[in-house]
Amino acid sequence: MKFFLIVFFVSNILYGADAAKVVKLDERFAESKNCKACHMQLVKDWEESWHSNSHFDKDEYFRKSIKYYSRKTRKSLNGVKVECATCHNPRISVTSTDINYEIEAVLGLDKGSKVNKALKDDALHEGINCVVCHNIEKIHSDRDETYRGINRVTWTKSGLMSGPYDDAKSPYHSVEYRDFMGKNSNQLCFVCHANMSSVQGVMFTNMEEEFKSDGKQCVDCHMGPKRLGVASTLKIDDGKAKKRMIRKHGFKGAHDEEMIKNSLKLSAWQKGKDVVIMLKNPQPHNIPSGYGSREILIELDYTNGTETIKNEAISLTTYYKDRRGKATIAHLAKTMSKDMSIPARGKKVIKVKKAGGATSVRISVYYKLVNDEVHKLLKLKEKQWSKKMLITAKTLKLK
Ligand code: HEC
Ligand code: HEC
Ligand code: HEC
Ligand code: HEC
Ligand code: HEC
């Protein structure tokens, strides 16, 4: 086997082309520290965002998913890291690995390779940083749906920042207005937040398809409303910083208890021997959405006036099975269970049998980032992954 691999490897060096494309990023712009002098507040906002945590060293769930995926597909760990970097780390200097690299990795000959060097780059640790979003020259919406992240964009020439203003001037970098930074910014988000598919071609989330807007854009909720401030603290306007309408760069989402709170509306009533629970979703995308295996947990605590007589929990989540029919993560799914999420600007009604003798029931609705099945598969340790975040709760008197 090894002999065969070596022959294959040598012949590939001789005849195979290196698929890795190198795109160089100027050091003056590569990291957010280069922007601090003039955009301090925006950098601080962004540092608290999950975009800045999208590198595998900073996100336990992502890191362990990569390991799991590598083990199950027998693709090298670094090969998987490069594959996932398409959206999680799009400024990586190699965009794909090929069979040559896989063979090098098996033989332990990959130490000094371009791929390994690319993965060690400091700027990559910043995940989705300034020069991911603001260095997009063009979004290729005409490309096949499955081309996302790095494969859906062209980068600007080094030092050119695309932004929401058409009259900005900066001594540090050149600037240009882009529609996808202004009136059409959903397009920017859909570069990555759409069409997430497994290795088997199962599309497990598509925020673009489920999106039902009432005119609001993603940035209205995830960067907050436009408010008066300064885009840059540099004194450019008659010795003063220019006043501008700006947004926060926090991109708060499912990891944030404040965002989760009240994101669904709960109503409940008794109908004969049943308790009917209705969850309405006023948001323009499903809840949960985004990454697979998120969960909504509805807990019912029945009392008879003095003590708890019964607890019950209903889970709304999606489960994934691999080629052999075994439980797996979304990215390896061959099949998935019914989508249990509450549809965008829609509702879900659930009926349960009332506990006998109960005079009231406390209904609490929680959000969890990972359901128990995947939590166990990946052996996640950090508290955040098992934490129940309260969405809403209410008490219903029973007859
Ligand atoms: C996930 C994409 C994304 C990332 C990452 C990002 N930005 Fe932005 N940025 C935007 C969008 C979208 C707007 C336009 C918001 C609007 O006006 O609707 C914007 C606006 C701006 C503006 C204009 C002022 C404002 O707040 O509207 C500046 C300056 C800016 N970004 C700098 C930065 C810097 C510096 C970083 C890195 C710390 C960064 N951005 C990271 C998407 C991003
Ligand atoms: C020496 C100061 C300085 C530094 C350093 C700097 N910028 Fe700027 N930047 C500016 C000024 C000034 C503006 C224009 C502000 C205005 O017109 O309100 C600007 C505007 C922008 C805009 C908005 C452009 C538009 O047309 O809408 C973006 C995006 C941006 N900068 C990103 C960055 C990023 C990313 C970095 C770090 C790699 C960075 N800047 C570093 C001074 C700076
Ligand atoms: C280059 C790809 C890319 C682009 C462009 C992008 N995102 Fe993201 N976004 C990601 C990834 C990857 C994560 C997950 C990071 C993690 O959890 O480690 C993420 C996380 C988020 C989160 C946090 C979700 C949570 O679970 O807490 C929000 C909110 C978000 N993005 C909104 C946006 C919006 C709004 C835009 C458009 C202005 C946008 N993103 C553009 C890739 C992208
Ligand atoms: C009207 C406000 C609103 C708009 C507009 C909006 N969102 Fe959200 N989004 C929320 C709320 C509230 C949550 C938290 C509840 C949750 O996690 O589902 C959320 C959660 C998310 C999450 C985490 C979802 C999960 O379950 O992992 C992502 C990713 C996200 N939004 C991206 C987007 C993108 C991309 C757009 C535009 C296409 C968008 N959002 C538009 C309000 C909004
Ligand atoms: C099409 C772009 C895209 C690709 C490719 C991609 N991801 Fe993601 N990933 C995202 C986005 C966008 C989010 C944020 C969704 C959310 O938070 O709801 C995300 C979130 C995640 C999360 C949840 C992180 C958290 O903190 O909750 C995990 C785990 C994950 N991805 C694993 C992977 C793995 C493993 C790969 C490679 C096999 C991969 N992703 C490839 C776009 C992508």
CB-ligand 2 contact for 37 (6 Å cutoff): yes
Backbone angles phi and psi of 127, in degrees to 5? 65, -130
Would you call 96 exposed, middle or buried from its count of C-beta atoms within 10 A (0-12, 13-18, 19+)? Answer: middle
- Among all chains, which residue has been given the structure tokens 């290795």? 199
Cβ(248)–Cβ(301) under 8 Å?
no
Residue nearest (by alpha carbon) to ligand 3 atom 3: 192
CB-ligand 5 contact for 51 (6 Å cutoff): no
- For ligand 1, residues with CB inside 6 Å are 32, 35, 39, 42-43, 46, 51, 128-130, 132-134, 163-164, 181, 185, 188, 219, 223, 231, 246-247, 249
Cβ(146)–Cβ(158) under 8 Å?
no
CB-ligand 5 contact for 194 (6 Å cutoff): no
Domain borders along the chain are 2-192, 257-397
Residue 344 Cα, ligand 3 centroid: separation in angstroms? Answer: 18
Cβ(139)–Cβ(191) under 8 Å?
yes
Q: Which two tokens stand for residue 100?
A: 């040559």
Q: Which two tokens stand for residue 231?
A: 């885009």
Residue nearest (by alpha carbon) to ligand 1 atom 38: 43
* Residue-by-residue pLDDT tens, the chain, 399 positions: 444 444 444 433 333 323 334 456 788 999 999 999 999 999 999 999 999 999 999 999 999 999 999 999 999 999 999 999 999 999 998 888 999 999 999 899 998 898 998 998 888 999 999 999 999 999 999 999 999 999 999 999 999 999 999 999 999 999 999 999 999 999 999 999 999 999 999 999 999 999 998 899 999 999 999 999 999 999 988 889 999 999 999 999 999 999 999 999 999 999 999 999 999 999 999 999 989 999 999 999 999 988 999 999 999 999 999 999 999 999 999 999 999 999 999 999 999 999 999 999 999 999 999 999 999 999 999 999 999 999 999 999 999
Which one, of 223, 229, 228, 230, lies nearest residue 249 by Cα? 223
CB-ligand 4 contact for 263 (6 Å cutoff): yes
CB-ligand 4 contact for 207 (6 Å cutoff): yes
**What fold does the segment set 257-397 form as a domain?**
Immunoglobulin-like (2.60.40)
Between CA 210 and CA 284 the distance in angstroms is 8
Q: Which two tokens stand for residue 303?
A: 């009392």
Q: Best of 28, 128, 133, 156 to mutate for ligand 1, by most ligand atoms within 8 A of CB?
A: 133
Alpha-carbon distances of 153 from 53, 137, 149, 204, rounded to whole Å = 21, 7, 7, 22
Total-model pTM? 0.95
Neighbouring-strand partners of residue 278: 267, 349
